[in-house]
A and B are shown apart, each in its own frame.
Chain A
Amino acid sequence: MTAHQATIPETALSRKPSHRARRRRPANRAKRRSSFLTVVMWLCVVYFMVPLIWLFMSSTKDNSDLFTTFGLWFGPDFNLFQNIVEVFAYKDGIYLRWTLNTILYAGVSAIGATLLATMAGYAFAKYTFPGNKLLFSVTLGAIMIPLTALAIPTYLLFSSMGITNTPWSVILPSLVSPFSVFLMRVYAADAVPISLLEAGRVDGAGEFRIFWQVALRLLAPGMVTVMLFTLVATWNNYLLPLIMLNSGDLLPLTVGLAQLQATSAAGGGAQALFSTVITGAFLSIIPLIIAFLYLQRFWQTGLATGGVKG
């Protein structure tokens, strides 16, 4: 692994052997706009935006407009603010509680998983130790096992430890992310030059100090990528909290909203909460959109790196 000595992705690209450059299309062709690709991109934009637009439009409607007016445009009444009030008033503000739970679970899991994955990936990339390859292969293999298949065994395990129906039961499994370890190993192999580490060792710094003060700075873009991955994964996780948690006070937004939705279609004892559910769903994605817009540049850098080496 010491063969990869590039410091940052940009230099890695510029150092590519010349025969790779020759195979690339001439620069003037690359700059020309491709109308085919433009059409494909616009189709993608429409495909991804239509559900969001529907969600926004629907969250401005009351229950009866929801089922009597066109989905992708406003109804006769603009009910967004009444709906938001209803969302937060439902069951003494349980929505706020769910939001805080989601922030707690996703925040702690994202930070913890990033830290663990960074340390593990760095160790895999920069140290030779017995079992290095075997352990890494197991990690790779673990990517193949869908989390869904592990949910019930994890439940039984946690149940015998007595920590089901606690925040730990959602946070602990989310701390482990094999894919992030893989990503950080690839990234660390590129981003941290071994000469820098050797220089640190010559100066008498301990391995931990080298990691915290030297490597971590170089790894930051990759870490943001991993953090966004795990943040989104935990924010949107449905099955794990569904299985682990019972108390309404502990639920994250995903499970809470699904419960509200079920209450609307319950048949016996049903309450018509459709506009509340939709507005709640709309509000729940706003923090993710903000996180994406704010951290986008890191995200792109990080993804590109994975692509070059992957």
Chain B
Amino acid sequence: MRHGARKAAVAITSITTVVAMTLSGCSSDADTGTTTEPTGSTDGRITDEQRLEALTTPTNLTFWTWVPGVEDQVALFEAAYPAISVTVENVGQGLDHYSKVRTASQAGSGAPDVVQLEQQFVTSFAVTGELLDLTPYGATDLADDYVPWVWNQVVANGQVLAIPQDSGPLGNLYREDILAAAGVTEPPATWADYKTAAELVRANTDSYISNMAPGQGAGWVGLLWQAGVKPFGYDGGEGVTINVNGADAKEVVSYWQDLIQNDLVSVDADFTDEWYQGLNQGKYAGWLTAAWAPVFLSGAAADTSGLWRAAPLPQWDVNNPSSGNWGGSVNAVLKASENPIAAYELAKWINHAQEPALLFATQQNFFPTKISVLEDPVFAAQEPEFYGGQRVNEVFAGISETVDTEWEWLPFMEFAYTSFNETFGAAVAAKGDLSAGLDAWQADLEEYATQQGFTVNG
């Protein structure tokens, strides 16, 4: 028996080793860079003949996306190009989706042609060589049709890596009734006003002016973005810039530390039962959130209809209004696609042709990235009952123009957010020293970047 057990132990050890090796093979091998073989068509631009041929040859495309009801846009595409049929598959959301895309790309079969990505993950997928450069397919011609800061999110080193779909410029949704009861009649214009209002709300009502969710990395990063902080950078090769604990970032978080430690804002985790209850029962008199939130909120807190209003974020400098972004996504073509021309046309058409792009804004309630949709009265002139008939879309369209265009992401945002939760997020949840939280995040990011073979600049 002993003999057998030892042999078994050897067998198990070797199996485990294989597993470990396979697993590490699936993680992002950043050191391979973006130098993967081009698909052969990158020598020159795709000609009209090639495009016509691709669009009239019967082709099956697979499109992985979590967008509900995107089948309607796809049906419009199939009607416009009858030779092409598209299978829409929802393989999960967020990190579930991303790990499936990575695994399928690595496995060499079963990968989709077109995928949904959040803007912040475009660089992370580009660095592992999974995204097709859309420049030869004519994507550069689209640049002027999109809001400039959004377009910058899909361009890296002269390559266009995706077509923008929606965005989430940050604004302030607030309960007009609670603020009025506290004696605040105007939405706070500056962060100093916001603190005063927060004190009034705490003193005169049972509510908090807002909830700052500890684990919401993208939301916090959006607030840094608004303040003009440049925490991340990537040169497209091996150099990354990590500066999440600079003086400007620390100034922003010390403001929040003050509010959190004086119990002027709550720090509940968001998208939880408790949080939904807080929104419904008036525990939170506001939410600093993105342009996709107004419609989400009207579903999640339906009982409070008519009481909410929208405003821009409070400002650091009223003469120079600015905002950041939280969320928003793009459609990208994978290099693994066997029909890149048709795949590009799908990604482009549903986000660029006026009918499907407007449908995203009116049916899915996405906040548009295409200028002509933002200006379309069907979108801009909506007067939702939930906000007392206020033209919320117009408010956010105005905010979108103030978003800083020079913003970059790290090529490993999956790790960056996990690390965020363990460092800065933990400090927020503990109502502790947020500056130290940023320092810990910085150290964690630098260490990871070095391990992955990047050079860390400043």
Contact = CB atoms under 8 A, between A and B. Distances in A.
Contacts of A248: 89-90
B12 A259 contact: no
Contacts of A133: 1, 3-4
A267 B168 contact: yes
B12 A141 contact: yes
B386 interface: no
A115 to B, nearest CB: 25
A134 B92 contact: no
A310 interface: no
Given A138-B11, A150-B19, A268 B365 contact: yes
A243 B100 CA distance: 7
Contacts of B5: 137
Interface in B255-283: 271, 273, 276-277, 279-281
Contact of B292 (A152, A247, A267, A271): A267
B8 A141 contact: yes
Nearest to B289: A267
A159 B109 contact: yes
B64 A141 contact: no
Interface stretch (B122-130, B240-248, B299-307): B299-307
B300 A242 contact: no
Contacts of A164: 107, 109-110
A149 B93 contact: no
Contacts of A267: 168, 290, 292-293, 296, 327
B371 interface: no
A220 interface: no
A155 B12 CA distance: 20
B404 interface: no
A268 B277 contact: no
A144 B292 CA distance: 45
A268 B271 contact: no
A243 B104 CA distance: 10
Contact of B19 (A153, A246, A268): A153
A213 interface: no
A116 B50 CA distance: 55
Contacts, number: 150
A162 interface: yes
Nearest to B97: A262
Given A141-B11, A164-B110, A268 B327 contact: yes
Given A68-B281, A137-B5, A269-B366, A160 B107 contact: yes
A145 B109 contact: no
B108 A68 contact: no
A289 interface: no
Interface string A251-271: 000000011001111111111
Most buried by A among B1, B91, B94: B91
A160 B293 CA distance: 42
B329 interface: yes
Nearest to A256: B90
Interface in A256-302: 258-259, 262-272, 274
B135 interface: no
Given A145-B16, A272-B299, A137 B8 contact: yes
A152 to B, nearest CB: 6
Given A152-B103, A155-B107, A262-B92, A64 B8 contact: no
A156 interface: yes
Contacts of B22: 152-153, 156
Contacts of A7: none
A67 interface: yes
Contacts of A89: none
A113 B27 CA distance: 32
Interface string B47-90: 00000000000000010101111000000000000000001011
A262 B95 CA distance: 11
Given A67-B277, A68-B280, A272-B300, A265 B90 contact: no
Interface of B: 1, 3-5, 7-9, 11-12, 15-16, 18-19, 22-23, 26, 62, 64, 66-69, 87, 89-94, 96, 100, 103-104, 106-110, 112, 166, 168, 271, 273, 276-277, 279-281, 290, 292-293, 295-296, 299-303, 327-329, 364-367
Interface of A: 63-64, 66-68, 71, 133-134, 136-138, 140-142, 144-145, 149-150, 152-153, 155-156, 159-160, 162, 164-165, 242-243, 246-248, 258-259, 262-272, 274
24 contacts: A63-B299, A64-B280, A64-B302, A67-B281, A68-B281, A68-B303, A138-B12, A141-B11, A145-B16, A149-B19, A152-B103, A153-B18, A162-B109, A242-B100, A243-B103, A246-B64, A247-B89, A262-B92, A262-B93, A268-B168, A269-B364, A270-B295, A270-B296, A272-B302
Q: Which 10 A-B pairs have the closest CB atoms?
A: A272-B299, A137-B8, A268-B292, A159-B107, A262-B93, A269-B364, A133-B4, A141-B12, A67-B280, A64-B303
